[in-house]
Amino acid sequence: MTHALLYSRAPVGIEARTVRVETHLAPGLPAFTIVGLGDTAVRESRDRVRSALVNSGFDFPQRRITVSLAPADLPKDGGRFDLAIALGILIASGQLGNITTDHYEFIGELSLNGRLNPVSGMLPSSLACLAEDRTLIVAADNAEEAGLPGTPTLAANQLARVAAHLTGQQPLERHQCQPPSKQPFQGGCLSEIRGQQTAKRVLEIAAAGGHSLLLCGPPGAGKSMLASRLPGLMPPMRTAQALEVAAIHSLKQPRNSRLFYQRPYRAPHHTSSATALVGGGSYPRPG
């Protein structure tokens, strides 16, 4: 076999699109090419993967290696495809035998010694993987976040452990994620505010009816103080809502599990730009 196909995920905003990682080994002068609109970090995967394979006890094929990250028009960044690329080379070169990976997805960055490092934006990928009914294999440090939606998740510390699982020599155990508990609201309480009876009544009506709210007044009137108490008037988020909020957080860093079901509260400065508020960039990120 000189061709291998594995699946991974590329974040697009708060979603995660399927990426087909195809690997082909052809005769000719040794070369290693990655195509598919990847950024510098993706192109650098060639050096990380080569070192990780050698240091994990595998042979790096001295052939013409072409890796395609499809769809080709989808921008891709980071080292999240390292694990899939390395496994694709092992399968295409016959080092793992005749195995099937159609029901797996692989996400993880490789160290030069073959260790699996965590990546950001894992929760959107896990949600998408659950919808596709595939098992997700990730770095051990990403396992807790990846398992939040109930996705079948396998975690490993080393490339060699993933290879041993795929060949049936040493199966990985499914990671059991502990679901977050619903904690009392950690912010301030409306009862702490003296006076402001009309404003407090408006807050209660807005919270009860799910209405939008605009507070106007001079500096020091108590607008921010009142607004910070609004999340405490609202019920905890449902699981689907909490996962959506946590998916946005995971694009930068995982959300604190103690605050998983609590309504988020943000207080941006009045001089913040539109981009700072809503996010943006070549690879869209939240503000």
pLDDT in tens, 209-239: 989 999 999 999 999 999 999 988 988 888 8
184 located within any domain = no
Domain boundary among 166, 200, 228: 166
Same domain, residue pair 131 and 223:
no
Total domains in the chain come to 2
The secondary structure of 145-157, three-state, reads: HHCCCCCCEEEEC
Confidence (pLDDT) at 118: 94
Assess whether 95 and 203 both reside in one domain.
no
Confidence at 53, pLDDT banded by 50, 70, 90:
very high
**To the nearest whole number, what is the mean pLDDT of the chain?**
91
**Predicted pLDDT of residue 183:** 77
Q: What is the pTM of this model?
A: 0.86
User: Closest by alpha carbon to 116, among 85, 151, 93, 147?
Assistant: 85
* Residue-number span of the structural domain to which 200 is assigned: 190-278
- Please indicate, yes or no, whether residues 66 and 10 belong to a single structural domain of this protein: yes
44 and 132 co-located in one domain: yes
Q: Which of 134, 166, 198 is the last residue of a domain?
A: 166
Q: Which of 86, 81, 29 is closest to 54 using CA atoms?
A: 86
Residue type, 139: A
